Amino acid sequence: MHLSSWNRYQAFAAHFGISLVIFLVLVLLVFTVWYPGLLMQADNSWEQALMMIAGVDLVLGPLLTLIVFNPKKKSLKMDLSIIALCQLAALVAGLYTVNSSRPVGLYLAFPPQGFEVLYANTVTPELATFAEDADTPLFYYTGKELFGPATQMDLTPEMLAPVNNPDLSYQAFIERKSPKGMFELDGKLRMQIAMTNNWIVTNLDGSEPTIVPSEALKTAEK
């Protein structure tokens, strides 16, 4: 169908339909690649990222098409091309932000301060690859500093141990750095995620991790 035979509402519907397909693909990427499993629950910045992308991809682009579309305009193709380029640029910028700031794991250095989220742009590429290739997103610090290194960029794979490693003891690490039983309840270990209201709950050996909101944890304790 040629553009001259369309009206603005048909153009809007076509633009929205294409944008919706692209957006759904991005949602799939967020949930399966960038924020999989526990990481999606540990860090909800994906919500803001999706809202930003949806605002540009599903609202702004189609709305501009609805406003400027007039089959009699000689500059119609140019106008639509500019809209498409601006939408593409905003989309690429949003994808870059989501990818570079994605969480790659969580690590625990000092139990009372809780797990810290490791982001792709706050650790070295080597550590990011190590964390993403591991069979668990949870690690604890095996270095000498009580509170861990000064910055996450100083972390190396050799400093981190997976909490579910059967050859090491996650529970022994916690008891070595905090009073015995402080984070244990009903045969589970509970550790807060720093700067959030969420807690990571595991078995004593670090297996079967789940994320539980503070409110749910308080209710369970009553």
Domain limit, last residue, from 55, 79, 100: 100
Edge to edge, the sheet with strand 210-213 lists 184-185, 188-192, 198-203, 210-213
Per-residue DSSP letter, 34: I
H or E stretch at 126: helix 125-133
pLDDT of residue 162: 94
The total of other beta-carbon atoms located within 10 Å of residue 145's CB is 12
**Is residue 163 domain-shared with residue 136, that is, in the same domain?**
yes
pLDDT of residue 2: 66
pLDDT of residue 214: 84
Domain span at residue 214?
103-221
pLDDT of residue 195: 87
Mean pLDDT by 10 residues, the chain (222 residues): 77 91 88 86 80 83 90 87 88 84 94 94 96 94 92 96 87 91 91 91 91 77 56
Domain limit, last residue, from 100, 128, 148: 100
Domain limit, last residue, from 100, 117, 142: 100
Helix%, strand%, coil% for the chain, nearest 5? 55, 15, 30
Q: Using alpha carbons only, how large is the chain's radius of gyration in Å?
A: 24
